[in-house]
Amino acid sequence: MQSTKKNTLAISLLLLPAFACSSVQERWRSRYTEVPDGLLQYADEERMSSVDDARQDRDRMRDNVASARQAKDDAEQSRAVLRGELDVANERVRVAKLRVTSQRDGKQAAFDDARADVDAAEAEVVEARRAVELNELRIEMYEADIDVAEARQRLAEERVELAKAHAVAELDRPEAKAIDVSTFETRVREREKEVALSEVEHTAAKREYDLATERGADEQIDGQNDSMNSDLESGGFSSSFDLGRGGLPSLL
């Protein structure tokens, strides 16, 4: 019985270093969400080239994030200006309508001029409101731009860590043996899914903005056509010649 206890103790003492080593590596694995830069000094030049490329791509993604945020900031600054222009246009409509009221008992020409001023002011309101709405959609599109840029930046950062993991994974050092390359590969795949989702949402936001832009252009053309037809019906259209009695052009 005593001999059995001694054998068990001996086996435990033999296994203890292995368990200790395993415990240390597991502790490193749980701690290494990033590959320590200190390990990179032992990596060969070819693998470090991949790390440098990944870092350059990450830096470009950071620049893209800054550009996307600046575009949104510019659009948000335009928001106040455009809303101010809409307020001014609404005030012009109010003033023009007051003028119409004051000219009801006056001369027909003055009343017609006042009515024309109302129509022009209301057209300005339509244009100003369209500009405000379009700018809001532009801001939403820029927010989607930011989401995509940030998702791509996070992906680029994970790719840097993956490149670093590949660079040191084969090193004959205890810290390197604790690097679990598959963990970094999994994180890259997760970030790739985030990028794909953000790109879908960005496509939807851009499509909505493009459709609004097209509708605005069509409405503007329709408004111009309506204005021209109105001029023709009222006799306000000026021609370079008048028709004579026989229907032939007369330059007189």
Of 58-72, 138-152, 202-216, the range with the lowest mean pLDDT is 202-216
Q: How does residue 131 score in pLDDT terms, banded at 50, 70 and 90?
A: very high
Mean pLDDT, rounded, for 236-251: 33
pLDDT value at 29 more than 70: no
**DSSP 3-state assignment of 250?**
strand
pLDDT (average), residues 203-217: 88
Domain boundaries, the chain: 40-221
Q: Which CATH architecture has domain 40-221?
A: Orthogonal Bundle (1.10)
Judge if pTM exceeds 0.75. Answer: no
Residue with more model confidence, 44 or 93: 93
C-alpha to C-alpha distances, 221 to 44, 93, 125, 227, nearest whole angstrom:
65, 22, 16, 10
- Stretch among 30-39, 117-126, 129-138, 224-233 having the lowest mean pLDDT: 224-233
pLDDT of residue 238: 35
Query: What letters, b where the CB count within 10 A reaches 16 and e where it falls short, cover 151-179?
Result: bbbbbbbbbbbbbbbbbbbebeeebbbbb
Per-residue model confidence (pLDDT) at position 223: 54
- Give the strand pairing for 249-250 and 242-243: antiparallel
